[in-house]
């Protein structure tokens, strides 16, 4: 479908009106994503944005690209299926910490080790916002919510280290309070050929009074250059108790579909009669 279109602008990416709370970190994440796409000269029809369920998973409606607002925790497999069928499309997955690290955690680890060429933006606010304030997989220890009345006795999940330990080829953390740096990181993630994880610390102004903009401004340590090894990246993440932002680690490795070395024709489907010659050929194995 080669159609001559003019260069994309931010206006081309404007979708439905967001219903996020004023001050929500997700506004900045969406703006950063749209800016990154414009900077890269990618058209809305060349992108599939896939999300699960949660506040952040509403992004595909608010940002005009091809999109699929799926079910809770299943954005990654839907997105990978779409990428398998349409390798020429840019596939971007958006969602929250509950969606990706709670109900969808099983898919997360496998998406990491599969290394398909997609970008995963997790808007991590350490709280379940859409269900109005329950504890999440990244909530701090002793965090008090309606469902952890004596404080959260679990310890927060370290998604960055999980990704690093399982062979992720692009791991970054960004902060929605630093839009410029975040946009650079998202742009690099989209450019990366392989699975790229950007965990965006994106404060919930309504339900999380601990992981606030101020908290992150005070505690985040900038990582200016990717670290040389996975081990070093994990060490740095641990040393700063995950309070880092920047691109932590990058590795050039053939993505899943390239490694398979198949001449992809998944979407080439001819209407009309079935291929009789092929039928006769295959029938031989049943004789």
Partner 1 sequence: METITALEWKVGGQQGEGIDSTGEIFTRTLFRYGYYVTTYKQFMSRIKGGHTNYKLRATPYRTQHAGDFVDILLALDEETIAVNKHELRPGAIVIQEGKEERIREEDGYLLAVFPLKAIATELGNPLAKNMIALGMSGALISLPVEEFYAFIEQQFAKKGEAVIASNKAAVDKGYAIVEQHLAAYVKRLKPLPRSEDRLYISGNEATAFGSFMAGCRFLSAYPITPASEIMEWMAAHLPAVGGTIMQVEDEIAGITFAVGASYAGARAMTSTSGPGMSLKTEALGMAAMSETPIVIVDSQRAGPSTGLPTKHEQSDLNHMLFATHGEIPRIVVYPSSIEDAFYVAAEAFNLAETYQCPVIIALDLALSMNRTTIPPIDAKRVKIERGKIVTPEEAKKYGEFVFKRYRFTEDGISPRAIPGNPYGVHTASSNEHGENGYITEDPVIRTQIMQKRMGKIRTARLRNPFYVQNGDADVLLVGVGSVRGVIEEVVRRLQDEDGVRVGGLFIQQLHPLPVEELKPFIDGKRMIVSVENNYSGQLLNWLRQHFPIHDRSTAITQYDGNPFRVTRVYEEVKEVLRRVGRTQETHA
Residues at the site binding partner 1, with contacts judged by CB under 8 A = 1, 3, 5, 15-16, 43-46, 48-50, 53, 58, 60-61, 64-71, 74, 77-86, 88-89, 106-107, 109-110, 260, 262-276, 278-280, 282-283, 286-287
Task: For 212-227, give the DSSP string.
Answer: -HHHHHHH-EEE-S--
- Smallest separation, CB 166 to partner 1 (Å): 12
Shortest separation between residue 232's beta carbon and partner 1, angstroms = 29
Instruction: Give the CA angle between residues 28, 43, 87 to the nearest 5°.
Output: 105
Rounded-to-10 torsion of CA 240, 244, 247, 249: 20
Could you tell me the smallest distance in angstroms from the CB atom of residue 156 to partner 1?
23
Query: Which residue, 228 or 261, has its beta carbon nearer to partner 1?
Result: 261
Q: What is each CA distance from 258 to 61, 194, 255, in whole angstroms?
A: 31, 10, 5
Report the nearest approach of partner 1 to the CB of residue 44 (Å).
5
CB 244 within 8 A of CB 223: yes
- Of 49 and 196, which CB lies nearer to partner 1 in the complex structure? 49
270 φ, ψ (degrees, to nearest 5): -85, 130
Closer residue to partner 1, CB minimum distance, 72 or 181: 72
Residue closer to partner 1 (CB basis): 45 or 193? 45
């Amino acid at each position: 479908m080669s159609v001559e279109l003019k260069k994309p602008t931010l206006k081309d990416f404007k979708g439905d009106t967001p219903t996020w709370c004023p001050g929500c970190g997700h506004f900045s994440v969406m703006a950063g994503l749209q800016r990154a796409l414009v900077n890269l000269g990618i058209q809305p029809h060349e992108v599939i944005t896939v999300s699960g369920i949660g506040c952040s998973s509403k992004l595909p409606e608010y940002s005009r690209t091809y999109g699929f607002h799926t079910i809770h925790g299943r954005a990654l497999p839907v997105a990978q299926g779409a990428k398998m069928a349409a390798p020429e499309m840019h596939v971007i997955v958006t969602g929250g910490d509950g969606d990706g690290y709670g109900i969808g955690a099983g898919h997360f680890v496998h998406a990491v080790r599969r290394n398909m060429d997609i970008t995963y933006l997790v808007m991590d606010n350490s709280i379940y916002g859409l269900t109005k304030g329950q504890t999440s997989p990244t909530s701090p220890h002793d965090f008090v919510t309606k469902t952890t009345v004596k404080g959260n006795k679990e310890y927060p999940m370290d998604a960055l280290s999980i990704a690093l330990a399982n062979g992720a080829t692009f791991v970054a953390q960004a902060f929605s309070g630093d839009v410029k740096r975040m946009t650079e990181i998202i742009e690099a993630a989209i450019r990366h050929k392989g699975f790229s994880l950007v965990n965006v610390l994106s404060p919930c102004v309504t339900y999380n009074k601990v992981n606030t903009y101020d908290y992150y401004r005070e505690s985040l340590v900038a990582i200016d250059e990717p670290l040389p090894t996975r081990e070093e990246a994990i060490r740095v993440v641990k040393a700063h108790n995950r309070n880092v932002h920047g691109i932590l680690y990058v590795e050039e490795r053939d993505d899943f579909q390239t490694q398979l070395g198949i001449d992809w024709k998944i979407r080439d489907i001819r209407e009309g009669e079935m291929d009789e010659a092929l039928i006769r050929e295959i029938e031989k194995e049943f004789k």
